[in-house]
Amino acid sequence: MTTSRPLAFPATAILATLAISACGGAESLVNVFRSESAHEEYVHTLKTGGLERTALGRDWIDAANRAIAAPLAAPLPFRETGYFAPQVPAAVGYRFDLRRGRKLVISVNFEAASAARLFVDLFRLDRDADSNAAYRVASLAAGDSTLAYDVRRDGTYLLRIQPELLRGGRWTVVQRTEGTLGFPVPGFGVQAIRSKFGVDREAGRRRHQGIDIFARRGTPVVAVVDGYAAPGTNTLGGNVVWLRDGRRGRSFYYAHLDRWALEAGQAVKAGDTVGYIGTTGNARTTPPHLHFGIYEGGPADPLPFLSPEDPAPGPVRAPVEQLGQLVRVTVVDAVMRAGPTGRSDTLALLARGTVGRVTGASGSSLRIALPEGTAGYLDSRAVVPADRDAPRVALEPGSWLRELPDSAAPLAFLVDAAEEAVILGTFGGFELARLDDGRLGWSVARGGRFERPRGGAFGRRR
Q: What is the pLDDT of residues 34-90, one digit of tens each?
A: 578 999 999 999 999 999 899 999 999 999 999 999 999 999 999 999 999 999 999
Task: Give the model's pLDDT for residue 197.
Answer: 86
Same domain, 104 and 142: yes
CB 158 within 8 A of CB 125: yes
440 found inside a domain = yes
In this prediction, residue 126 carries a pLDDT of: 84
Task: Say whether pLDDT at 211 is over 80.
Answer: yes
- Residue 143 to residue 253: CA distance in whole angstroms: 41
What is the span of the domain harbouring residue 255? 190-306
pLDDT (tens digit, 9 = 90+) per residue, 415-447? 988 899 999 999 999 999 999 999 999 999 987
Q: Does 175 share its domain with 200? A: no
Residues 33 and 171 in one domain: yes
| 124 in the same domain as 48 | yes
Same domain, 225 and 293: yes
In a domain, 138, yes or no: yes
Bridge partners, 177 (sequence order): 104
- Residue 8 falls within a domain, yes or no? no
Q: Are residues 60 and 150 in the same domain?
A: yes
Query: Of 263, 260, 264, whose CA–CA distance to 273 is shortest?
Result: 260
Check whether residue 167 and residue 211 sit in a common domain. Answer: no
Query: Is 462 a domain residue?
Result: no
Q: Report how far residue 302's alpha carbon sits from residue 295's, in angstroms, rounded to the nearest whole number.
A: 9
Give the whole-number percent of the chain exceeding pLDDT 90. 81
| 168 plus 34 within the same structural domain | yes
Residues 241 and 365 in one domain: no
Determine, yes or no, domain membership for 452: no
Q: Are residues 133 and 45 in the same domain?
A: yes
CATH code where residue 349 lies: 2.30.30.40
Supply the mean pLDDT for the chain: 88
The reported pLDDT for the residue numbered 258 is 98
Q: What are phi and psi of 58, to 5 degrees?
A: -65, -40
Same-domain check for residues 404 and 361: no
Tell me the one-letter amino acid at 305: F
Task: Mark 379-407 as b/e (b = at least 16 C-beta within 10 Å).
Answer: bbebbebbeeebeebebeeeeebbebbbe
